[in-house]
Amino acid sequence: MRILHFYKTFSADQHGGVEMFIRHLTHATSRQGCENIVLSLSRDGASSVQEADYQLVQAKEDYNLASTGISLSSFKTFKELAKTADIVHYHFPWPFMDLVHFATRVNKPTVVTYHSDIVRQKILKYLYSPLQYAFLNNVDAIVATSPNYLESSTVLAKFREKSSAVPIGLEETMYPAPEADKVSELRERHGQFFLFIGVLRYYKGLEFLLQAMEGKDWPLLIVGAGPLEQELIQIAAERKLHNVHFIGQVTEQQKVNLLEACYAVVFPSHLRSEAFGISLLEAAMFGKPMVCSEIGTGTSFINQNGVSGLVVPPRDALSMRLAMEQLWNSPALASRYGQAARERYLEVFTSHSMGESYVNIYSKLLAR
């Protein structure tokens, strides 16, 4: 089967959530007989490159409005690629993609991976709603990234008859192996420590995590950069949180070393903009206990309360502090949660399992 994926940004070295998902999905499905083409936009202009698991075709991005890339040339490129595809696989949300879908009159089976509701852009959401409804109504199959999100999304409730859930899966062999000497150095430098990994954005709940750290001497390493980085550094300084260390962006190798070295992973996202939480899934893959918030999305599907870690109410610094304290004071409990997290990853969240589910969806659409 020949699958055409369409998403606004994608390249081999991008590590955003959707980009990682596409990379791991194409890795899995290419090994199950699929030929993958990924069409995305680039400010650097049109290009095409063949990678091991996909062919990447990029159209020139002409404009960008509210994180919505627009490319005039992509209409023609998409139409040409769609003609040779068996399945068109969209990655939602991206309003411009909906326009391309209707303008090019795609006559192929269509799948949408529904990565997230539109949460923050209230005006855009209002203006986009009619097009969004028409697009989701027109496609053949909609796939949420977790059962939790499928159940809690008011948008998906309107399309339940053609919606299903396939959890995001990760291919462990696509990660570098931990470097034993670097892991030892991290443990010597920081001792037992909590770890957060992610882009420092408004929905990550890091202000509540910093509140949870007040009065505690647990080391916390915050890995990542983003719009709130300087503001969070200033808050930590004002509150004299000397045990909170902002590491900034790291390489994949450094991230793996940090995950291997840490005691537990904390993920305080408090808004539905956090639709899944791949950093949590990476923590489970490394067998780490987790603390996250209940926001009705994939975070509490990955981390099951009392099984692989602890789940607390969102925006609740006290509950987060108590959960972290419970893990900190009970290494046996943390170890049991970490082992269960690893087992759950192997049972539910491998890329092979994800790939099988999508190949099954593709095959059923073609059989129609």
Q: What confidence tens digit (pLDDT) does each residue in 181-220 have? A: 999 999 999 999 999 999 999 999 999 999 999 999 999 9
Characterize the bridge pairing of strands 264-267 and 220-223: unpaired
CB count within 10 Å of CB 224 equals 20
> Residues 74-98: pLDDT tens digits?
999 999 999 999 999 999 999 999 9
What is the average pLDDT value for the chain, to the nearest integer? 96
Q: Domain spans of the chain?
A: 2-171+350-367, 172-348
Asked if domains 2-171+350-367 and 172-348 share a fold, the reply is yes
Looking at domain 172-348, its CATH class is: alpha beta
Q: Report whether 344 contacts 307 (CB < 8 A).
A: yes
State the fold for domain 2-171+350-367. Rossmann fold (3.40.50)
Give the residue-averaged pLDDT of 37-58: 96
What are the strands, taking DSSP E only, across 16-144? Answer: 35-42, 47-50, 55-60, 63-65, 68-70, 87-92, 110-114, 141-144
- Rounded Cα distance between 188 and 164, Å, is 46
What would the two tokens of residue 98 be? 């909906």
The closest alpha carbon to 292, from 122, 183, 148, 153, belongs to 148
What's the Rg (C-alpha) of the chain? 21
Which residues sit opposite 197 in a β-bridge?
Answer: 223
SS3 content of the chain, % helix, strand, coil (to 5): 45, 20, 35
CB count within 10 Å of CB 353 equals 15
What are the strands, taking DSSP E only, across 166-243? Answer: 194-197, 220-223
- What is the pTM assigned to this prediction? 0.94
> Residues 215-239: pLDDT tens digits?
999 999 999 999 999 999 999 999 9
